[in-house]
Structure 1
Amino acid sequence: MIVWPRVFLIGLVLWLATVVVTGWTRNSNLVPTVVLFGSFLVPVTFVVWAYERGTKRRPATEPGMSTPRVTVELMFMAFVVGGVLGVLGASLLESWLVRPSILMYVLVGLIEEGVKLAALMFVTRRMTARSTMDGVILGATVGFGFAAFESAGYAFNALFTADGLALTQLVETEVLRGVLTPVGHGLWTAIAGGALFAAGGRLKRSVVLTYLGVSLLHALWDSMSAIAIAITLVLTGRAWQFELLRIGRVPHVTEWQVHVYTLVNWAGLLAISLVALAWLGVAVRAGRRERGILSQ
C-alpha cells in the first residue's frame, strides 16, 4: 500500500487545523506546533515517497544478503542526525567564513553542500554494500532533514515583527519554503549522494566534481533574487535610477520593473530546478543500469 499520500494529507489537515486554532484562540503555546508541522510536512512526505519508490524499484538486498541495505532506522538517522549535523556545521562555518561580498553565495553553497555530504558519509559509514540508488535515497533524506530544520528556523524568525507576533507571515514563509523544498536541498544532496555511493563511498574525482556542480546550483539558487534585480535594471533601468545607484541611494522602481523582476526570478529558479532534475535523472538511470548488471 502506498503510504506517502496519507502522510501528506493527514499532516496537511493537522497543520491547517493548528493554524486555524492558533489564529482563533491567539494561544502562543501552539506556535511551536505550527512551526514544526509546517517545516517538516513536505520533507517527511518526500522521504517516505523516496523510500517507497526506491524499495519497489530495486532489490533491498544484495545477492546472498538477508538484511536490507537501506532500512527505516538508517533513513531516520540520515534525516535527523544528518540534518542536524548539517545545520550545525553550516551555521558554524558560515559564521566563521562568510562575509558580505560577491562570493558570499558561492561560499554558502560550498559550505552547505559540503556539510551535508560529510553528514551523509558519517551516518552511512558502517554500510558495507552500496549502490547508486542507495546514495540517491539516503542523500535526499539528509538533504530533506537539513531543509526541515532550516525551514523551522526561518519560520520562527518570520514570526517576530516590530508589531508583535505575525502568524500570517509565519504561514506564508512555511508555504513558500514547502513549495520550493522538493527542488532544493533534497535534490542537490540526492545527486551528490548518488555520485558518492557510485564511487564506493570514497572522495574520487567524480564525487568532487559533482559536489562542485551542486554547490554551483545552490549558489545560483540563493543569488537568483540579486541576479534578477541586475537583469531587470539592465533591461528596463532608467537614467535617473542609475544615477541614484551611483551615489549610493536606492531608487524607486516602477510597477513594470516589479513584474519583470518577478518573471526573471521565477524563470531562473525554474531553469536551475530543471537542470538539477535532469542531472538526478542521469544518476537514477545509471543506478538502474548498475542494478541490472548486479542482478545478472
Structure 2
Amino acid sequence: MSAMTSFAPPAVYTQAVTHRRRHVPSWLKTFLAGAALWVATVLITFATGNVNLVPTVILLGSFLVPVTFVVFAFARADGVLTPQRIFTAFVVGGVLGVLGASVLESALLGKPSALGFVGVGLIEEAVKLGALWLLARRLNRYTVRDGMVLGAAVGFGFAALESAGYAFTSLFTPNGLSLLNVVETEALRGALAPVGHGLWTAILGGALFATAARARNGRPKARGSVFGWYLLVSALHAMWDAAGIVAVWLTLLLTGTTAQLRMIELGQQPGVTQAQVHVYTILNWGLMAGVAAVGLLLLWARWLMRGQRALSDGR
C-alpha cells in the first residue's frame, strides 16, 4: 500500500495536467480532428481509387476551415447567440447566399470584365447581408460583436459551399477525374478562407448590428452607415477577385517586351518567361495580402472600439 502511495502522482501535478487539458481551445480541437479525418480520407482514396469517397473528401476539405473559424468566433460572442442560431446562420445563410448570388450573377452579369468583378462583389455581399438581416430579426438584444460573429457564420457558410463547388468542378479534367486537383483546390481555398467571405460579412454584421442602438425599436436598420460599409466591403471583394488580372497587367507593364505588347494589341496570347511567372506570382499574392490586411485591420479596429466602449459603459 505504501509503495502504491509513493508512486501516485502529486495532487498539484494532476491538477496542472487537468488544467492544461481543459484549456485546449475548442476551435483547435475541431481543426485538428477535422484535418486528421480529411488527410486520412484523401490517403485512403488515393490508395484504393474508390471514387465513392470523393464527396467525403470534398465536404471535409471545404467545411474544415469555415467550421473551425465559426467555432473560434462563437467563443467570442457576447452571450446572446446560441449554438443553434450560429448553426442556422452557417447553413441557411450560406445556402441563401450562394443561391441568391447564382441567380443574380447569371441574370445581371455577362462575360468576365473589370465591371464584372465589381458586380460580383456588390451582388455577393448584398445577398449575404440580406441573409444576415433575415436571420437576425428576432434577437433579444444586439451588440456589434454579436453582429460580427453572426456575420462571420453566414460568410463562412457561403465560403464552404462555394469551395465545395470549386472543388467538385476541379475534379473533371480533359484526361479524366483528378483527385489531386481537388486536394490542391481545397488546400488553397482553405488557406484563403479566413480572409475572404467570413471576414467581409463579419464587418458588415458589425455595421448592421450597430444601427440597432440608434433605432427606436432596437432593431437593425438599413441606414446610410451600413450602405457605406457595404460599398467598402464590396470594393475589397472586387479587388480580391481582380488581383490575378491586375497582376497580369502589372507584370506586362513592368517586364513586358515590345513583341509581347504587340501580340496583345493584335488579340493574341504572348509567351511568357519564367522570370515573368515569378513576378506575376509575387504581385498576385502581394495584392491579395494587401486586401486581406485592410479587411483584418478594419475588423480588429471595430472589435476593439466596441470592446472599449462596452467597458466605458460598464463603469
Match of 1:45 among 68, 83, 86: 68
Q: Paired residue for 1:275?
A: 294
| Contact 1:132/1:286 (<8 A) preserved | no
Residue 126 of structure 2 corresponds to 114
What does the per-residue CA deviation read over 1:77-108, in whole Å, with 9 as the maximum and x for residues that have no partner? 11000000000000000000111232000000
Equivalent residue runs for 1:1-296 within 5 Å: 1=22, 2-52=25-75, 54-55=76-77, 58=78, 60=79, 69-100=80-111, 101-200=113-212, 201-296=220-315
Distance, in Å, in 2 between the alignment partners of 1:26 and 1:252 is 37
Distance 2:120 2:311 in 1: 38
The letter for the 2-side match of 1:103 is: L
What is the CA distance between 1:294 and its match in structure 2?
4.3
Distance 1:154 1:294 in 2: 46
Contact 2:171 2:177 (C-alpha < 8 Å) held by counterparts: yes
- Bigger relative contact order (CA 8 A; separation at least 6): 1
Letter in 2 for 1:275: V
Distance in 2 (alpha carbons) for counterparts of 1:295 and 1:167: 54
Structure 2 partner of 1:63: none
Q: CA deviation at 1:295?
A: 3.0
SS in 2 for 1:270: helix
Give the RMSD, CA atoms, in angstroms: 1.0
Q: Percent identical across equivalent pairs?
A: 52
Q: 1 CA distance for matches of 2:133 and 2:150? A: 10
- Amino acid aligned to 1:80: V
Does the 8 Å contact 2:170/2:178 carry over to 1? yes
User: Which whole-Å CA distance do the structure 1 matches of 2:296 and 2:152 have between them?
Assistant: 13
Q: Distance in 1 between matches of 2:195 and 2:52?
A: 32
| Superposed CA offset, 1:243-279 (max 9, x none) | 1111110000011110110010111011101100110
**Distance (whole Å) between structure 2 residues aligned to residue 17 and residue 85 of structure 1:** 32
CA distance, structure 1, for counterparts of residue 194 and residue 57 of structure 2 = 20
Larger Rg: 2
CA drift of 1:293 comes to 4.2
Q: Is the 8 A contact 1:113 1:215 kept in 2?
A: yes
Letter in 2 for 1:254: T
Q: TM-score, normalised by structure 1?
A: 0.94
Shift of 1:147: 0.2
Distance 1:236 1:271 in 2: 22
What is the rounded CA distance, in whole Å, between the counterparts of 1:231 and 1:218 in structure 2? 19
CA distance in 1, matches of 2:52, 2:258: 52
Other-structure match for 1:65: none
> Structure 1 CA distance, aligned partners of 2:136 and 2:86?
10
TM-score, normalised to structure 2, is 0.88
Alpha-carbon distance in 2 for matches of 1:173, 1:29: 19
Aligned mates of 1:293, 1:99 — CA distance in 2 = 51
Aligned-partner Cα distance in 2 for 1:128–1:208: 24
For structure 2, the residue ranges without an aligned partner over 5 or more in a row are 1-21, 213-219
Q: Name the aligned partner's letter for residue 56 of structure 2.
A: T
Amino acid at match of 1:109: G
